[in-house]
Amino acid sequence: MKNIMKFSLLIVTLISCFILSGCSKNNFTGTWVGVNPEMHSLIKLTIQENGDKYIVAEDAYKYKPDKDLPIPKQYSLLAIRNGFKQKQTVTYDFNLILTKEKSPLPNTTATLSEDKDHLIVQGENLSNILYIPEDDTLVFNDVKFIKVKNNDDITKSLKDLKSNSIFSLKHRYHKYSERFNLESTDTVKIGNITFDDSALIESK
């Protein structure tokens, strides 16, 4: 009988440890990445334990062209009407470089909540860092973060950022396209768009 009670107590202890470990403080530590669509930026969040507190650091990255964006050549309407000038079709290629920005969040500290499901971040106008156990993600300032285990995790997050950058370029030159160009400027075609992620992706 005593052995059965001991065994039952051991099982209960193991189950309790398992439940508690599901929301342990170690769930927060590490490097996390998320995309802020409003700011067109990728956010890297680094969380480290420091005694009974945490140090939280945030870096922001954006895609920027390697040179000034071209401006279509403009012609005089009078010259065009008189046949002296003829608009041309030009193709623009772009190389966008991932560039580290100055983050609005300086290094700050945070403490673990009593229920261990979020970090209380010290600072004005900063939300708590919430851990979502269902998919092992964090939510901070309305941005969802995934944990970085290798470069593939960063690459996945950059996909959305690249799509936003391509859309932004096409929107910028939309009125100069073959279908919509009613301006007295050259017609613009979007050529190759390449990306340089070396600022964040480690070379293998």
Please answer whether residues 42 and 144 qualify as being in contact, where contact means their C-beta atoms are separated by less than 8 angstroms. no
Mean pLDDT of the chain: 82
Per-residue pLDDT at 24: 52
Of the listed ranges 112-116, 121-125, 190-194, the least confidently predicted one is 121-125
Q: Hey, how many other C-beta atoms are within 10 angstroms of the C-beta on 204?
A: 4
Q: How confident is the model at residue 80 (pLDDT cuts 50, 70, 90)?
A: low
Average pLDDT over residues 169-175: 93
Please write the tens of the pLDDT for every residue from 153-167.
Answer: 999 999 989 998 999
* pLDDT band for position 19 (cuts 50, 70, 90): very low
Neighbour tally for 8: CB within 10 Å: 10
Tokens representing 180 are: 């919509």
pTM attached to this predicted model: 0.76
Helices (DSSP H) in the chain: which residue ranges? 2-21, 77-81, 151-172
124, 150, 122, 202: which is closest to 33 by C-alpha? 150
Higher pLDDT, 155 or 1: 155
Query: Is the pLDDT confidence value at 9 over 60?
Result: no
Say what the pLDDT of residue 1 is.
Answer: 52
Choice between 120 and 26, residue whose per-residue pLDDT is larger: 120
Residue 82: pLDDT band (50, 70, 90) is low
* Percentage of the chain lying above the pLDDT 70 cut: 79
Rounded average pLDDT over 115-144:
89
Mean pLDDT computed over 96-117: 86
Q: What pLDDT score was predicted for residue 125?
A: 72
Place of tokens 């403080």: 25
DSSP letter for 185, please.
B
- The burial class, CB within 10 Å (0-12 / 13-18 / 19+), for 98 is buried
Task: Tell me what the mean pLDDT of segment 107-129 comes to.
Answer: 86
How many Å apart are CA 69 and CA 47, to the nearest integer?
A: 37
β-sheet bridge partners, residue 91: 189
Query: Residue 85: is its pLDDT beyond 70?
Result: no
Main-chain dihedrals φ then ψ at residue 35, nearest 5 degrees? -105, 130
Mean pLDDT computed over 90-95: 96
